[in-house]
Amino acid sequence: MTSDKLLFTPGPLTTSATVKSAMLRDVGSREREFIETVREIRERLLAIGGSASPRSGGEHECVLMQGSGTFAIESVISSAIPRDGKLLVLVNGAYGRRIVQMARIHGIETETIETPENRRISPKAVAERLAASRGFTHVAVIHCETTTGIVNPIEEIGEVVESAAAVYIVDAMSSFGAIPVDLAAARIDFLISSANKCIEGVPGFGFVLARRSRLLEAKGRARTLSFDLYAQWAGLESDGQFRFTPPTHALLAFHQALLELEAEGGVAGRGARYGANHAALMRGVAKMGIEAYLAPDDQSSIITTFRYPEHPRFSFAEFYERLSQLGFVIYPGKLTAEPCFRIGTVGRLSPTDIEALLTAMRRVLEEMGAAPSVNAVM
């Protein structure tokens, strides 16, 4: 049996053996033990977001939604915004553009603030746009834009959105669990993330942390059956069960992943490991003459975008395939303006794994005849 490749991606990502082994049992979705596991998952996710559980007086609710993270985002977009609502999407990458696409498919009036992919969203620009047009009811932004790895200032933007009396939607897909997020401090009404990101579970469901008052407003607004966020929450609240077949094995794995997050020191501990991974990566690629796309102050420790080496013999397709054959999987780029590739430093990886990747990268570049000259990196 061949060993798994190491995934230097933002998700799905490398998981621990114990997370994988948690799936090696079958449970019924109506069994008391499983229902209790789902309840605990929901409460732990709220705690990560800095909110008390509803039973302890917290003002946010946790809704689990089958499918990918994009499914969970679409559940919010298609459920929370009324027929006469108007959405402003803050875009500085591919995942902001995806929200625009899904909103327009659902017939939602949508406008954007477009920011270059190497620049953070400006809270001042958001304030000016909201002041110029009083019609916006909802504002959506990506926290860590996986296109580049840039981190947008969600707390400052949240102040602006609250001042405009709009509903604030934050896609925290690639950040939640590794970058601290306080739902109240950031004035977030809906936060969305996924099981297979920084909490290091496996694919199968996403989740929404929603302000209860905004969730109640969503009753009857859904444009679909499966993505009805309010109905999903109401079902979980009534008997602890999903409306439709839940991803039982993925939920068991996620519960184990949450325990491992706690054992690592929570968000701070996990973020520290990811930070060490990222620092090791940046030291190594700098020695190879490979240039990062973002300025250091804008760069997260989640995923990093790199420009192609300026060498006539460099081919990303060959670079990717050779690394994969050696057991290392990286990501192609998503920039609209220039060719690039991406390397994630999250998942069950350590700085030792990063050093192994860097050794493989140097070897592959040399075999391709695309290694930089000594003078190029001096």
Decide if pLDDT at 2 tops 90: no
Identify the pLDDT of residue 57. 74
Percentage of the residues of the chain whose pLDDT score is greater than 70: 98
Decide if pLDDT at 187 tops 90: yes
Percentage of the residues of the chain whose pLDDT score is greater than 90: 91
Mean pLDDT for the stretch of residues 160-171: 97
Identify the pLDDT of residue 56. 73
* Of 360, 371, 362, the residue nearest 313 (C-alpha): 371
What is the torsional sign of CA 226, 229, 231, 237? positive
Helix spans in the chain (H):
17-21, 32-48, 69-80, 94-105, 123-132, 154-163, 212-217, 229-239, 248-263, 266-287, 316-325, 351-368, 374-377
Tokens linked to 261: 């997050």
Q: What pLDDT digit, counting tens, does each position of 96-120 carry?
A: 999 999 999 999 999 999 999 999 9
Q: Which of 49-63, 244-258, 327-341 has the highest mean pLDDT?
A: 244-258
Are 79 and 72 in contact, with CB atoms under 8 Å apart? no
Distance CA 49, CA 154 (A): 13
Decide if pLDDT at 258 tops 70: yes
pLDDT band (50, 70, 90) for residue 134: confident
Three-state DSSP at 352 gives: helix
Q: Which domains does the chain have, with CATH numbers?
A: 6-10+266-377 (3.90.1150.10), 18-263 (3.40.640.10)
pLDDT band (50, 70, 90) for residue 242: very high
Identify the pLDDT of residue 1. 45
pLDDT band (50, 70, 90) for residue 55: confident
Mean pLDDT for the stretch of residues 282-290: 94
Are 186 and 159 in contact, with CB atoms under 8 Å apart? no
Identify the pLDDT of residue 365. 96
Strand partners, 167: 138
pLDDT band (50, 70, 90) for residue 215: very high
* Of 135, 155, 133, 132, the residue nearest 143 (C-alpha): 155
Identify the pLDDT of residue 373. 60
Give the N- to C-terminal CA distance of the chain in Å, as an integer: 43
Q: What pLDDT digit, counting tens, does each position of 9-32 carry?
A: 988 999 999 999 999 999 999 999
CA 375 to chain centre: 38
Least confident range from 128-142, 331-345, 362-376: namely 362-376
Tokens linked to 159: 């102040």
* Of 151, 219, 145, 216, the residue nearest 186 (C-alpha): 151
CA 198 to chain centre: 8
Computed on alpha carbons and rounded to an integer, the radius of gyration of the chain in Å comes to 21
Identify the pLDDT of residue 336. 79
* Of 156, 234, 181, 201, the residue nearest 192 (C-alpha): 181
Identify the pLDDT of residue 12. 93
pLDDT band (50, 70, 90) for residue 377: very low
Identify the pLDDT of residue 145. 96
Q: DSSP of 265-305, one letter per residue?
A: THHHHHHHHHHHHHHHHHHHHHHTTPPBSS-GGGB-SSEEE
User: Which residue bears the tokens 């498919």?
Assistant: 105
Long-range contacts from 231-235, C-beta under 8 angstroms, 24+ separation:
232/63, 232/64, 232/65, 232/75, 233/61, 233/63
Distance CA 137, CA 152 (A): 21
pLDDT band (50, 70, 90) for residue 366: very high
